Amino acid sequence: MDLLNNIKAFLQYYLGAKTYYNLHSPRIYEFITNTLEDDRSYYAFDKIEEIRTHLLQDNTSLQILDLGAGSKTSKEKTRTIKEIASSALSPSYQCKLLFRIVQYLKPRHILELGTSLGISTMYLAEGNTKAKLTSIEGSQAIADIALRNFSYLKQTQIKLKVGNFDEILPNILPQIENLDLVYIDGNHQYEPTIKYFEMILPYLNENSLVIFDDIYWSKEMSQAWQEIKASNSVSQTIDLYFFGLVMFKQDFKEKQDHKITYSTLKPWQKYIPS
Ligand SMILES: C[S@@+](CC[C@H](N)C(=O)[O-])C[C@H]1O[C@@H](n2cnc3c(N)ncnc32)[C@H](O)[C@@H]1O
C-alpha cells in the first residue's frame, strides 16, 4: 500500500464526490438506491460474519503460495489463518455491498478473481443462490479453507478453481455463459489488472458489471483505474474509492464517471476494522 498516494486519492475522491441526488441517469440512480442506499440486514450476514470471527481467531499455520502484488520477495510464505483473515479480506461493509449488488442485478454467472478464505465469495453466493459462481484462488492451502467454509454454509453453487489467474482465465472464460458480474480482488498491480480486464472484455454483455477492488491502493492501481475508465468499451463508471464499478451499456452520448458519496457506507470505514 502506498499511503501518500492513498491520502491524495482519498482527498481527490472526497472533494469531488456527489450524493446520488445529483445523478442525471435514472439507471444509475436506481442502482445506487437499491444497493448503496439499502441498509437492510440479512440473516446471511450474521452467518458469514460468524465464520469471519472464527477465522480471525484461528492460529493454524498455512504454507501459502503468493502470486499477487505481495509476491516480490518470496512466493512461498507461512501465514496463520488469523493473519490472512485480518489483512486480506474485504471488510463487512464492502461484502454487504457485494451481496446487495448481486441481489439487485441478479447476475446469471459471477466470476471472482481472488477467493482467499471465501468471505466475499460467500456474500456473492448468498445474494442470489440461483446464480452460478466461479471463483479463482492461487494458493491451494487457502482455497482448502474456503472450501471448508462453503461446505459449512452448504453453498454448492460455487466452483472454486485453484491456480494462477493468468493460466485459469483463458481456459474457463470460453466455458462461461452470461458473464454478468465480475469481481476482481487479487494481484493489485498495473499490468495484471489491465490484462485481466482485457481478457474478460470479450465475454461481457452490455448489462455486465465489473467491480475492481482497491482502485487507489497504489499509484499503479490508480493508473490502471484511469485507463480502464478511458477504455472505449466502457460507458459509465462509479467510483466509491474502495471499489471501482464499470458499466458497458452505451445509453449515454458521453462516457461518465460518477464519484458517489452515500449515507449508509462511509469510505473511511476502509481504515477502521469491521
Ligand atoms: C485480497 S485477497 C481476496 C480476498 C477475498 N476476495 C475476500 O474479500 O474475502 C486476494 C487473493 O488473490 C490471490 N491471488 C493473487 N494473485 C493471484 C494470481 N495471480 N492468481 C491466483 N490467485 C491470486 C491471493 O492468493 C489472495 O488469496
Q: Is the CB of 88 under 6 A from ligand 1?
A: yes
pLDDT for 15 beyond 70:
yes
Q: Would you state the torsion angle of the CA atoms of residues 145, 146, 148, 152, taken in this order, to the nearest 10 degrees?
A: 140
Average pLDDT score over residue span 167-186: 97
Q: In this predicted structure, what is the pLDDT of residue 29?
A: 87
Give percent of the chain with pLDDT exceeding 90.
72
Burial tier of 135 (Cβ tally within 10 Å: 0-12, 13-18, 19+)? buried
Q: Would you state the torsion angle of the CA atoms of residues 74, 75, 79, 83, taken in this order, to the nearest 10 degrees?
A: 90
**DSSP 8-state secondary structure symbol assigned to residue 255:** -
Q: What is the mean pLDDT of the chain?
A: 89
Q: Number of H helices and number of E strands within the chain?
A: 10, 10
Euclidean distance between CA atoms 158 and 248, whole angstroms: 26
Q: Is the CB of 186 under 6 A from ligand 1?
A: yes
* Residue pLDDT, tens place only, 232-268: 999 999 999 999 999 998 876 678 888 887 665 555 5
Q: Which residue puts its alpha carbon closest to atom 22 of ligand 1? A: 138
Of the listed ranges 17-21, 47-51, 55-59, 162-166, the one predicted with least confidence: 17-21
Task: Give the predicted TM-score (pTM) of the model.
Answer: 0.92
Q: Is the CB of 69 under 6 A from ligand 1?
A: no
pLDDT band at 3, cuts 50/70/90? confident
The domains of the chain, with CATH numbers, are 3-45+90-271 (3.40.50.150)
Average pLDDT score over residue span 93-108: 97
Q: Is the CB of 141 under 6 A from ligand 1?
A: no
Nearest 5 degrees, angle CA 155-CA 158-CA 160? 130
CB atoms within 10 A of CB 12: 15
The answer to whether 97 touches 31, Cβ cutoff 8 Å, is no
| Contacts of 248 by beta carbon, 8 Å cutoff, 6+ apart | 204, 205, 206, 207, 208, 233, 234, 235
pLDDT band at 25, cuts 50/70/90? confident
Average pLDDT score over residue span 43-68: 94
pLDDT band at 71, cuts 50/70/90? very low
Q: Is the CB of 168 under 6 A from ligand 1?
A: no
* Residue pLDDT, tens place only, 128-162: 999 999 999 999 999 999 999 999 999 999 999 99
Interval between CA 66 and ligand 1 midpoint (Å): 8
Q: Which residue has the higher pLDDT, 3 or 91?
A: 91
pLDDT for 30 beyond 70:
yes
Interval between CA 183 and ligand 1 midpoint (Å): 11
